[in-house]
Amino acid sequence: MIKLDNVKKYFRQNTMFGTAANIVKAVDGVSFSVDKGKTFGLVGESGCGKTTLSKLITGLIEPDSGSVKVSGDVDMVFQDPFSSLNPRMTIEEIIAEPLLVRGIKRSAALTKVAETLNMVKLGRRSVLKGYPHQFSGGERQRIAIARAIIRRPAVLILDEPVSSLDVSIQASILNLLKDIQEELALTYIFISHDLRVVEFMSDIIGVMKDGTLIEIASCDDIYSSPKHEYTRRLISAIPTI
Amino acid sequence: MYNILDVTDLTISIGGRKVVDNVGFSVPQGGVLALVGESGSGKTMTAMAILKLLPPAAKIEKGKIIFRGENILEKKERDMRGIRGRRIGMVFQEPFTALNPVMRASDQIAETLIAHGICKKQDLNARVNDLLGMVKLPIEVRGKYPHELSGGMRQRVMLAIALSCDPEFLILDEPTTALDVMLQKHILDTIKHIQRERRITTLFITHDLSVVNMLADNVCVMRNGLVVESGSRLDVLKSPQKKYTQHLISCIPVLGDKRRRLPVEI
């Protein structure tokens, strides 16, 4: 479904006066593949290149070298449901927009909106005419998910989708994402700095550091026998009760 | 042991709705109390009441906040200015919005020292350097603006400001929520080290029970303005008595557990 082969993306970091450029190797030779209906979890610290990698998969940016192959449409859900939804649009408009811009008739789009809101458990009618500020963080993330799946994409990239939520809301969103994945046979790229959340969601986990995947393993292996020293550090940083 | 802070029957309402309802807790000298709750639990309102920084719409219905034997709620704004930042240090969640974007880190740290008049001009530089060392920031950070610093470094600058006047009491409101797990551990380790060494009495506010283990002695779990359960860290985390506390613990994914779904409703 998704296949990355030795993908590289470097950025030039200029100083204020455009001199003495620094090269930032945001993604530096990453290869992995994900089968249909599976979840690839990507874990790493801030600045390790996770988000650049997700943009490469979406096609928002082009790789400098290497190849990114994705069969089917890709959509995304971002971390912050406060800034990712247009505050001046109603929920109905927000969710219908990806269909309308592709020339789908309004009536057909609205039917799909109602159907999709049901899938994210926000089926009550009052939701449609509401504005983002009227909803809680968890509800807003459900709205963002509805918008992301309205076109019925093949792949969904989830970039820290629960990082700004309370733990119990986080739990309900994670469960919902699993339900939707099963219902729509979606392939997920699930990105987070929190290995607990990544492990819960994923079939395979890639640990990213300084632009490279230093370890790719199944959930069981990464926890019981982490190969890389960095993975062990990541595990030991996790707060436990 | 002598309590630095005693909150009793604190009730705060906004527009007739109680957002903090008969809340009471104590923090003994040198101790760390974690106030744990989800959005809307009233934990931040409680902290704001301690600083007398409640929004204008919030009304204190009743209760006492005794800090070092004096009721904060009876203090005048003038007196509070000598308490906030000086006797009570604060660290808030978002270090990007809490810092002034057009001031260098060193000036922001010095500002608090100057405002409270506790450091002579010729000693300012040395004091700022001391504080940077205390929060484990390199000396080069002095001349940097907030946008030039990473999230973790910004939060360390916040911590340096909070510690600048040698406060007796520290309020940490979700100090690591915006950070990744690695940075979270580093910052909490630094805080713990300083807290232990200087015996700073601390109120630690978080929504995540799993981070409580890294810092707190006692825990107070809040929900919808009410205290649901309180006790020692071990009692609350290892053998929680209340359903809500049990739920807050069980809905956090644990490494190596084989659950397919997380519990959501209680």
CA–CA gap between residue B137 and residue B153 (Å, rounded): 7
Does pLDDT of B115 surpass 80?
yes
| C-alpha–C-alpha distance, residues A63 and A48, integer Å | 16
DSSP chain B: --EEEEEEEEEEEETTEEEEEEEEEEEETT-EEEEE--TTSSHHHHHHHHHT---TTEEEEEEEEEETTEEGGG--HHHHHHHBTTTEEEE-S-HHHHS-TTS-HHHHHHHHHHHTT-S-HHHHHHHHHHHHHHTT--GGGGG--GGGS-HHHHHHHHHHHHHTT--SEEEEESTTTTS-HHHHHHHHHHHHHHHHHHT-EEEEEES-HHHHTTT-SEEEEEETTEEEEEEEHHHHHHS--SHHHHHHHHTS--TT---SS-----
Contact B256 A223 (CB under 8 A): yes
Is pLDDT at A215 greater than 70 in this prediction? yes
**Closest residue in chain A to residue B214, using alpha carbons only:** A239
Residue range A136-148: mean pLDDT, rounded: 94
Q: Are B169 and B88 in contact (CB under 8 A)?
A: yes
Q: Which two structure tokens, joined as six digits, stand for B230?
A: 């309180």
How buried is B155 (Cβ within 10 angstroms: 0-12 exposed, 13-18 middle, 19+ buried)? Answer: buried
Q: Is residue A110 very low, low, confident or very high in pLDDT (cuts 50, 70, 90)?
A: very high
- Whether A168 sits inside 8 A of B247 (CB atoms) is yes
Instruction: Specify the pLDDT at position B249.
Output: 93
pLDDT tens-digit map of A41-52: 999 988 899 989
The pLDDT confidence band at residue A156, using thresholds 50, 70 and 90, is very high
| Chain B residues near any Cβ of chain A (below 8 Å) | 38-39, 150-152, 179-185, 207-211, 213-214, 237-238, 247-249, 251-256, 259-264
Per residue in B219-229, pLDDT (tens digit) is 999 999 999 99
Asked if A174's CB is within 8 angstroms of B179's CB, the reply is: no
State the average pLDDT for chain A.
Answer: 92
Q: Supply the pLDDT for residue A63.
A: 95
Q: Which residues contact A53 (CB under 8 A, 6 or more apart)?
A: A7, A27, A30, A42, A208
The per-residue pLDDT for range B212-266, each reduced to its tens digit, is 999 999 999 999 999 999 999 999 999 999 999 999 999 999 888 878 889 886 6
Helix pair angle (A106-119, A137-149), 10° resolution = 130
Burial class of residue B124 (count of CB atoms within 10 Å of its CB; 0-12, 13-18, 19+): middle
pLDDT of residue A17: 64
What's the pLDDT band for B97 if we cut at 50, 70, 90? confident
Q: Is the pLDDT of residue A80 over 90?
A: no
Q: Residue A208 is inside which H or E element, if any?
A: strand A204-209
Q: What is the mean pLDDT of residues B113-129?
A: 90
Residue B91, min C-alpha distance to chain A (Å): 18
* Torsion over CA: B137, B139, B142, B144 (sign): negative
pLDDT at A232: 93
Tell me which range, A76-85, B10-19, B88-97, B253-262, is most confidently predicted by mean pLDDT: B10-19
Say which residue, A82 or B70, is predicted with more confidence: B70
Nearest Cα residue in chain B from A175: B261
Distance CA(B80)–CA(B50), nearest Å, equals 10
pLDDT, mean of residues B27-38? 96
Residue B1 has pLDDT above 80, yes or no: no
Question: Tell me, what's the ipTM?
Answer: 0.84
Which of B149, B191, B215, B264 to mutate to probe the A interface, most A CBs <10 Å? B264
State in Å, rounded, how far the first CA of chain A is from the last one. Answer: 38
pTM: 0.89
Instruction: Select the residue of A46, A47, A196 nearest B255 (Cβ to Cβ).
Output: A196
